[in-house]
Structure 1
Amino acid sequence: MFGRHARRELEDRVTRLETGERPRASRERIAAGEGARRAWGDGFGLLATRALQVIIVLILTTAVIWGMRELTTVVIPILLALIFASTFAPVTEWLRRRRVPAALAAVIVLLGIVALLTGVGWLVVWAVRDQWDDLSAQAQDGFAQVVEWSKTLPFMPDEAQLHEWGEQIVDFLTSAQFGSGALAGVGVVTNFITGLVLMIVVLFFFLKDGPTIWRFLLRPFSGEALARAERSGTKVVETLGSYVRGTAGVAAVDAVGIGIGLLILQVPLALPLAALVFVLAFIPIVGATVAGILAALVALVANGPINAIIVVGVVIVVNQLEGNFLQPVLMGRALKLHSLVILLALTIGTVLSGILGAVLAVPIAAVAWGVIKVWDGPDTPAKWARPHRRQ
């Protein structure tokens, strides 16, 4: 009996194979699979797929940002070392072409960086330190005069609201937190010294063994992935170096131009204001605005409203020359980001890491855009970032 049952099953299988008929369970599984594919293949399914992909990307991005914030003492020094190494890469390459040993070239460049930063820092501190109290007092008096004048306008907020806004702005601009908040507290000082030492050590090895370190990091890649990684690394170094060198040049020209204008107009504290212009110029858009406001408030208190208006005009002219002439020449049009992108990057950087985040946000955004522009080739952006061809 068992033999007849087995023979009947075998005959049924042969019949199904000959006729192309599938077993019922297989047909049900196939139907279920086709139904699932149809469900994920229509418009709602595609939307769900994209939403799931976006959620995964956001989770990974959040995890990376959280990890970087937890390891700020390590991440920030490495990032600053990379920026300085990229900025002075032409000097390092020039020394190596002159057959200077790698270690000696790294020491020479590192000492030059330390001397340059120390000199610039000393000039800024020397210019601002002794006159900071006068500068803050005149800025507060100037803001008070602006508030008094605004009371005569019919559309301005009430006095209490203006007073509250004024206290918040003046406290931020003239407080110790704005000038030296990063050094407040023993723990923060310790982290600062640790980060500074780590940055110097990492910078030395980047200057000495940068190409070797980069080749080691490229070992997992091959083929097109290797070519893409090489293009991206070259673009990162070029973008960071061009951005920092260009920004420093623009900041110096801004400081000299506005400083000369303040001296001609006989505005007090012209040298400290010019030093602040140089420092704040490393924060695009916002820095120039803050520096112009401070200069105008001091001119308002010292020389009256007409002089303050002229100072505002000088700041606007210098900023226009910077945006339309200096930046394209010193930094290249390829590095010029849209103002909206800059503002968004500044906001995100400030929220995540304060003033240091605001300073680093724009070069990081420029690097990201630069990598996207060489993603599929030396002059071929990623597919989604390419402009549409008009028919």
Structure 2
Amino acid sequence: MARAARPSENRRKPAAALWADGLGRVGIRSAQVLLILAVAVASVYALMQIKLLVIPVLIALILAAAIGPFVNMLRRRGLPGAAATGIAFVALLILLAGVSTVIYFSVRSQWGDLAQQASSGLDELEQFLRNGPVPIDQEQLDQAREGIIQFATSSQVRSGAITGLSVVTEFITGTILMVVILFFFLKDGAKIWNFFLRPFTGEREAKLRRVGSRTLEVLGGYVRGTAIVALVDAVAIGAALLILQVPLAFPLAIIVFMTAFIPLVGATVAGILAALVALVANGPVVALIVVAVVVAVNQLEGDFLQPVVMGKSLQLHALVILMALTAGTILAGIVGAVLAVPLAAVAWAIIQVWTAEDPHLEDMNPDLPPANTQPA
């Protein structure tokens, strides 16, 4: 004789059926997505509270990845590990200090003239827009100018200026911290990475080792490639400015080099500044030639230099790069804009490795011991 269903069982079946249909599955997935987003937002918020530590760690990791092949080359030449690390570390510090010194004194000595030329260029551009072939109403120009002035004199900007001393202190502290972390990444990177891999075994450990190798490859390739592209941009645009006899050519070339580390928008902003200076000093014809040179250099960079120099280090769509730049700028200002793209490239590379869709995996052997510059 069949057993009669209990009332509790009858009540449970409709509840289970509620989540078994299509709408129920969508609800479960939506709850999972919301939970993941909440964890991500909480993690980003927590990291932003300790950005004085997070940013130096990220910069040190990127520099360690860039200089890692040089350390390995010195070791292959027979130098002990400590000596190779010390030589590479000191060489990197001298290089960074030299570049920073050249940039600082070059731009500082002519910064006033540069700002005045750019301001005069904006005035001439406004005059052209007012009397050009497609005239713009003076009221619209005044509203745009007032909006810029209001932003520049807003309480947020004033509060940022008031805290300038704090910013300088944080910068010095972060720089010292970055140098110390960089030294230990170069010296004990493999030991640090192996420490984090201790809880994992088998296939998961092998994947994590591949993640470490791919992260170093992406970061190192990105930094070295971006530096080469920035140098080519600065030399090409600077040479054009010198040939056209545009004043302040060297400071403008330095600014091009610096802004080239911000993809998509950096070189464009520097090109606009150079065109404004050329407009004031040499007239509209030379300014248009400068714009044409900047556009040609940007096309050369996007179509030839980046694919050849960076190779597979940056496999990101332009829209993804733009979104990463926006998010990085909102979260951490200029530093965030510089770090956003390589971090996005690393995140995409990690996803490819974890889902076994990375074409570089066939060249990696998870059984090999990690390199000395594995990330921490």
Q: TM-score, normalised by structure 1?
A: 0.85
Number of the residue aligned with 1:51: 30
Q: 8 Å contact 1:228–1:376 — kept in the other structure?
A: no
Number of the residue aligned with 1:373: 352
* TM-aligned CA distance change 1:312 to 1:184, over 3 Å: farther
* TM-aligned CA distance change 1:154 to 1:79, over 3 Å: same
Q: Does the residue aligned with 1:220 lie in a helix, a strand or coil?
A: coil
Q: Which residue type is aligned with residue 144 of structure 2?
A: W
- Deviations along 1:264-288, one digit per CA (max 9) or x if unpaired, are 1111110000000000000011111
Number of the residue aligned with 2:250: 271
Q: Which residue type is aligned with residue 294 of structure 2?
A: V
1:53-202 matched pairs, under 5 angstroms: 53-152=32-131, 158-166=137-145, 185-202=164-181
Q: 8 Å contact 2:230–2:256 — kept in the other structure?
A: yes
Q: Which residue type is aligned with residue 151 of structure 1?
A: R
The answer as to 2:18 corresponding to 1:39 is yes
- Deviations along 1:234-284, one digit per CA (max 9) or x if unpaired, are 111100000000000000000000000111111111000000000000001
Number of the residue aligned with 2:372: none
Q: Which residue type is aligned with residue 21 of structure 1?
A: R
* TM-aligned CA distance change 1:156 to 1:92, over 3 Å: farther
User: Over the residues paired in the alignment, what is the CA RMSD in angstroms?
Assistant: 2.5
Could you tell me how far 1:100 is from its partner in structure 2?
Answer: 2.2
With CA pairs under 8 Å and 6+ residues apart, which has the higher RCO, 1 or 2?
2
Q: 8 Å contact 1:96–1:102 — kept in the other structure?
A: yes
Q: 1:231, 1:182 → 2: CA distance?
A: 45
Q: 8 Å contact 1:68–1:75 — kept in the other structure?
A: yes
Could you tell me how far 1:190 is from its partner in structure 2?
Answer: 2.1
Q: 2:353, 2:187 → 1: CA distance?
A: 27
Q: 1:319, 1:171 → 2: CA distance?
A: 33
Could you tell me how far 1:161 is from its partner in structure 2?
Answer: 3.7
Q: 1:170, 1:124 → 2: CA distance?
A: 29
Count residues with an aligned counterpart.
356
Q: 8 Å contact 1:231–1:378 — kept in the other structure?
A: no
* TM-aligned CA distance change 1:318 to 1:170, over 3 Å: farther
Q: Does the residue aligned with 2:131 lie in a helix, a strand or coil?
A: coil
Q: Which residue type is aligned with residue 3 of structure 2?
A: E
Q: 8 Å contact 1:105–1:208 — kept in the other structure?
A: no
Question: Any stretches of 5+ residues in structure 1 without a counterpart?
Answer: 1-18, 382-391
* TM-aligned CA distance change 1:333 to 1:379, over 3 Å: closer
Question: Which shows bigger deviation, 96-105 or 361-370?
Answer: 96-105
Q: 8 Å contact 1:140–1:170 — kept in the other structure?
A: no
Question: Any stretches of 5+ residues in structure 2 without a counterpart?
Answer: 361-376
Identity of aligned residues (%): 52
* TM-aligned CA distance change 1:167 to 1:89, over 3 Å: farther
Could you tell me how far 1:162 is from its partner in structure 2?
Answer: 2.3
Out of 311, 321, 336, which is 1:332 matched to?
311
* TM-aligned CA distance change 1:306 to 1:349, over 3 Å: same
Could you tell me how far 1:378 is from its partner in structure 2?
Answer: 6.8
Q: 8 Å contact 1:255–1:274 — kept in the other structure?
A: yes
Q: Does the residue aligned with 2:245 lie in a helix, a strand or coil?
A: coil
- Deviations along 1:348-386, one digit per CA (max 9) or x if unpaired, are 0000001110010011111111112222337369xxxxx
Number of the residue aligned with 2:210: 231
* TM-aligned CA distance change 1:338 to 1:182, over 3 Å: farther
